[in-house]
Chains A and B, each alone.
Chain A
């Protein structure tokens, strides 16, 4: 097998040798992040996929790239992960048609629809041919990610005939009542559509429809320089800016072979952990608001405001934007500021513990949280559920542990496993992660070395994959640079996969529990819709 580094055999290379066999090992190449790329043809692909699934690989992403393989215009990249190793199967698409793998890998259902919308690729063997990203106003046969289409305003349909409306699964029966919620919700929240089928108060089916805030991020990035694309990466999802920009910069640095200075990685990691803290505080406050315990919620929202203000003090942006850049960070944070941050973190820990004890000693809150919205462990692998949602259901997934990046090999996060999978488990997991992040920040500040904070090495052409652990879970980024410009920017946040868990967690619960279940997962609509 070709590759730049000597390697020990991992699950991916083993699969290439044993499952694909033949000359696959000879054609396999290793990407700069350690992932294996193997071109496969139709027959060996269809033969190998069930075996790969049997070997407990998880399909973490599926996307299309134009002009990747010499054999055809479009190529589909199937990114499979197992035990810290990544295998990317590259399928050249002949005649714009490919076989669907959604029955074997349910996490492929949405990505396949996305490829159809974006590039016009048809998938045979699938029953779901509804459009995903492009709702009714978009003209039929409009494929924005096609290179032939130059990004410009388009003419949309004003009138949508009833026959063309998005069909939801119809549920009929005695006493069945359908409740449609959204896209505009009564609170201050992003838009999304939820269709409940209820009998009385109990939900027995939930179908979601997202992509109302589809802004065309992937197309927007194409043709931009890598510096300009940093802003696009920050805009994917407002409260995951740091995670997404870090994964983008990592991908560009990997494909260009840029070495990021140590101090820059320490600072980047501090920013990542600060963002995680902010997000978890917001979730705890939100969960308590959704059970109408405002006294408890305000304990956490006050702390979150203080973290936002500290963020602004450190970086000039409450959301930590404008810091992470290609090659490191754009500005240094002086020693006195970091010492101040360390002290702040100590105070934060004490006050968080006080708030937590108030909440956990209120029986009515525990009553609402316990046994509500259970996400079963069996869902985690087929749907690629990651993040606190997975860790609260007994899953042991964390990109910082499975694919350590930056300094996470030295500063290892600690998880205490919980397997209940209910809202209380997610609340507890987020509280633990928050405290763990505070520990990490303190240790990082204590150990941060002096040195430059940005590398000036140039960006080269190539492609690379990067995974980061955002507050919500596994964020994936695949970047291809051609002639110094972005040729393809594929980003998939954790929410994109985790949304489908809600369709399984809510049935069996009462309608009034939906908001707290939704908030306990805290999924980003913008990060899904892109």
Chain B
């Protein structure tokens, strides 16, 4: 118990706002559909690796660390696609993963959005035109936002997610 109390009162290392406003604006412009205003305060994300090399997953995991603390923006990573609003897909979609990707998307309730994170997810990256992958996520699912990068840094991913939520304010 002593440990927990001392950690409670220590200085927090969370960055004030790691995502720069210009980045948010730029990514905001790339959002393809209108976002329901309800997602302005609470966004549940299901992450899906469709064939990535794990670097993007590590960066997405880093979003939950004390520096980026994505929870404070109302963003939560959920365990089940049925609880999710956004499907965050990384990696070029491999043939072995195609069915799993489609099933995960189908299990999500409306309204739902798809975000492709990383160069491979955006257009297939270095695997474009090879035998093992279908290509970018848009070959299988309707993509609403792309976040390029190899891998995208947590700040860039966060900017993309915040842009999604910020867009929510515009519909009302």
Do chains A and B directly touch (beta carbons under 8 Å) in the complex? yes
Q: Is the CB of A144 within 8 A of B56?
A: no
Nearest chain B CB to A168 CB, angstrom units = 16
Q: Which residues of A lie under 8 Å from residue B103 when comparing CB positions?
A: 184
Nearest CB in chain B to that of A357: its residue: B3
The A contact surface, by secondary structure, is loop
CA distance A308 to B67 in the complex (A): 12
Are the C-beta atoms of B54 and A188 separated by less than 8 Å? no
- Report the Cα distance A305→B104, complex, angstroms: 30
B9 at the interface (CB under 8 A from A): no
Q: Do the beta carbons of B151 and A319 come within 8 Å of each other?
A: yes
Chain B residues within an 8 Å CB radius of A301: 62, 65-66
- Asked if B100 contacts A216 (CB within 8 A), the reply is no
- Which residues of B are at the interface with A, using a C-beta cutoff of 8 A? 3-4, 7, 13, 47-62, 65-68, 77, 79-80, 91-92, 94-100, 103-104, 126-127, 129-134, 150-151, 153
A153 within 8 A of B: yes
Give chain A residues whose Cβ lies under 8 Å from the Cβ of B66. 298, 301-302, 305
The listed residue (B47, B53, B67) touching A236 by CB distance below 8 A is B53
Residues of the A chain whose Cβ atoms lie less than 8 Å from the Cβ of B129: 151-153
Whether B77 pairs with A526 at a CB distance below 8 angstroms is: no
Tell me whether A216 and B151 are in contact (CB under 8 A): no
- The reply to whether A219 and B54 form a contact with Cβ atoms under 8 Å apart is no
4 cross-chain pairs, A with B, having the tightest CB-CB distances, nearest first: A238-B55, A216-B132, A186-B79, A238-B54
> Which single residue of chain B is at the shortest CB-CB distance from A301?
B65
* Cα-based distance from A137 to B151 in the complex (angstroms): 28
Query: Which of A186, A214, A232 is close to B132, meaning CB atoms less than 8 Å apart?
Result: A214
Contacts of A215 in B (CB 8 A): 51, 53, 92, 94, 127, 130, 132-133
B91: A residues at CB distance < 8 A:
213
B96 to chain A minimum Cβ distance, whole angstroms, is 4
The reply to whether A526 and B54 form a contact with Cβ atoms under 8 Å apart is: yes
A45 at the A/B interface (Cβ < 8 Å)?
Answer: no
Min Cβ gap B57→A in Å is: 6
Interface size on A, residues (CB 8 A): 53
B131 contacts A216, C-beta separation under 8 Å: yes
Q: Is the CB of B55 within 8 A of A319?
A: yes
* Candidates B60, B130, B133, B151; contact of A188 at CB < 8 Å: B60
B94 touches A295 (CB 8 A): no
Contacts known (A237-B54, A525-B54); A304 close to B65, Cβ less than 8 A:
yes
Cα A153 to Cα B59 with chains together (Å): 29
Residues of A within 8 A of B54 (CB): 190, 237-239, 524-526
Among B79, B99, B130, which residue has its beta carbon within 8 angstroms of that of A152? Answer: B130
A504 part of interface (Cβ distance < 8 Å): no
Docked Cα-Cα span, A231 to B127, in Å, equals: 12
Q: For the complex, is A181 an interface residue (Cβ under 8 Å from B)? A: no
Distance of A236 Cα from B7 Cα, bound (Å): 39
CA distance A507 to B4 in the complex (A): 34
Interface status of A172 (Cβ within 8 A of chain B): no
Contact yes or no, A191 B100, CB < 8 A: yes
The CA of A304 and the CA of B96, in the complex, are separated in Å by: 32
Distance, CA A149 to CA B130, complexed state (A): 11
Chain B residues with CB under 8 Å of A214's CB are 51, 94-96, 132
By a CB distance below 8 angstroms, the chain B residues around A298 are: 65-66
State in angstroms the CA–CA spacing of A214 and B150 once bound together. Answer: 18
CB-CB under 8 A from A318, the residues of chain B are 59, 153
Q: Which A residues touch B100, using CB under 8 A?
A: 183-184, 191, 212
